[in-house]
Amino acid sequence: MIHGFDTVVVVDFGAQYAQLIARRVREAEVYSVIVAHSATAAEIAELQPTAIILSGGPSSVYADVAPRLDPAVYELGIPILGICYGAQLLSLQLGGEVVRTGVGEYGRTELSVQATSAVLAGWESPHDVWMSHGDSIATAPPGFTVTASTPQAPVAALEDLQRKFVGVQFHPEVAHTIDGQSVIRRFLFEVAECLPSWTHRSVIDAATTAVKEQVGDRRVLCALSGGVDSAVAAALVHRAIGSQLTCVYVDTGLMREGESEQIEETFRAQFAIDLIHVKAADRFFSALAGVTDPESKRKIIGELFIRVFEEVASEITDVDFLAQGTLYPDVIESGTASAATIKSHHNVGGLPEDMQFSLVEPLRLLFKDEVRQIGVELGLPEAMVWRQPFPGPGLGVRIVGEVTQERADILRAADAIVLEEVKRAGLDRELWQYFAVLPAVRSVGVMGDERTYAYPIIIRAVTSDDAMTADWARLPYELLETLSSRIINEVDGVNRVAYDITSKPPGTIEWE
C-alpha cells in the first residue's frame, strides 16, 4: 500500500496484458499494483484498495488447473472490473453460465451496445473492440444487466451497479479497442469513485518523504550506471537528502562510447553532486573470464558492483544505504509471486545475499514512462531523460558468450555507429531502444579480395511504451544499409551485419 493514494489492485491471471492494465490505471492518475491470483481476500484487503481489476488470462475457466479468485473477495464491498478471463470468472463464481461454443473471437470485433451502461456511455453501436477468447459468457449472474454483445459473445459486457461489479469480454487496455481507456476511466471514477491523485508531482513528493523517513540523518551511496533510471533515482534521492548523498560511478569497461565523460560532466559539474569515479575494468574482465552463461554473467556483475560499493563505503562514515534505479518491470521480470523469472536483473535477482547495505529504491513501483516524466519534473537534461535504456551490466549482456576486452571494444565501436546514425535519421525519439549485439562466433567473409574470419554484429531496434512488450522497428532499408556499410568498414574484426526482427514476446529486448 502507498499511503496518500487510492490503490487499484490488478489481479494477474497469467495475462500478457496485466502490466498494461496497471499502466492504463496509472495513466488515469490512480495508483495500481499487481498481485497474484493466489492472493487471499485478507491479503488483498490489507492493501486497502479502492477498486480491483481482474485481468485476462490464457486458461479456460473449466480447465482442471484454471486459476481461481478467492470467493471472499466478492464480499469485501470493493468495486470490481473483470476483463476477458476476469469477466468470465466473475460471472461463473457469482452464478452465471460460461460455455465453450467451439467458435472463439480473436482480433478486431464489432460490439453491439444494448443497454445503458456506466462504462460504455457515449459509445456508438457497433463499436470496434479487441477480443481474444474461446469461452463465452452465456448467462449473466443474478443481479447483473447485460449491456453489450458480439456475434459469438451474447454477454460481452455486464454490470451490477448496486454491488459495483462490471465485466467486459473485450480488452479495453489495448490500443486496438477504440476509446478503450474511457472504459477504464469510467470504472475508476464513476463506478469506484477513485481520486486521480497519482500525479508526477505527488509521486515525487511521496518518494521524497519516504526516502527521508527511511534514511534519517545517515549517508547514502547511489549506484550510477549512466542510464535513465539511476540518473532519476540519484536526482530524486538528492532532492530528499542533499549532501548526505554520494554517487558512485563504476567504470566496468562495459560502458558505451563517451559514457564516463558524460556522467562526470552531468553529475559533478552540472548538479554539484558528490561523485566518486571508480575505474574497475580490469576487475570485471577478470571476473568474467571464461563465463558464458548469461545468468552467471549478470550475477557476477551484480555482486562485483556491490563489492566495489562496499569498498567505497568503508572509506566514508555512516553509510548504511545503497540507492539504485530499480523499476517495476525489473522486479516483475526477475520473478515475483505472480510472475515467473524471465531473467535476473543485476539489481534485483543478481544481488548477493550477504550485502551490507539496506536498499533505497525510490523508483521500484514505477514504469519507465513514469520515470521519464519524473526526470523532467526534477529538471534533468532532456538528453539524459530521453536517453534509451541501458542495462546495468552494460555491454556484458550484449556480448553473447565470453566477455573479453577485445570483444567489448569491438561492440562499443559498432554501438556508437548505431547510436549516431539512428539519431542522424531522426528516429531516436521514436524508438524505445536501438543498439548493437556481438555474438561470440566468427563467420567467413571476403574483404579486399581476401578471406576474413571475423565477428558478426547484430542490430536490435524496438518500439515500446514500457518495455513489458516491444515490437521490432521497421527501420528504413537505406538506414540499415548505412549501418552495415559503416560498421563493416570502420570496425576492425567485423565482417557481417544482421538485423533482429523478433518482437517481445517471444524474445526479450536484450539478448541476455
* d(C-alpha 134, C-alpha 60), whole Å: 8
Choosing from 173, 303, 333, 510, the catalytic residue is 173
The whole-angstrom separation of Cα 48 and Cα 53 is 14
- Beta strand ranges found along 48-117 (DSSP E): 51-54, 80-83, 97-113
Judge whether 370 counts as a catalytic residue: no
Torsion angle of C-alpha atoms 42, 43, 47, 48, degrees rounded to 10? -10
Alpha helices in 159-250 (DSSP H): 180-186, 200-215, 228-241
Cβ atoms 8, 53 nearer than 8 A: yes
Question: Prior bond to 506 cis, omega within 30?
Answer: yes
Total residue count of the chain as it appears in this document: 512
CA distances from 486 to 413, 479, 482, 501, 508 (A): 11, 11, 6, 20, 27
Phi and psi at residue 469, to the nearest 5°: -135, 155
Closest C-alpha to 122, from 164, 172, 177, 183:
183
Distances (CA, A) of 70 to 88, 136, 187, 435: 15, 22, 22, 45
Is 84 among the residues known to form the active site? yes
The catalytic residue among 37, 127, 171, 345 is 171
Strand partners, 145: 159
Residues 6+ apart with CB under 8 A from 275: 224, 246, 247, 248, 249, 263, 264, 267, 268
> Any catalytic annotation for residue 173?
yes
Nearest Cα neighbor of 158 from 122, 216, 202, 114 is 114
Query: Where in the sequence numbering do the catalytic residues fall?
Result: 84, 171, 173
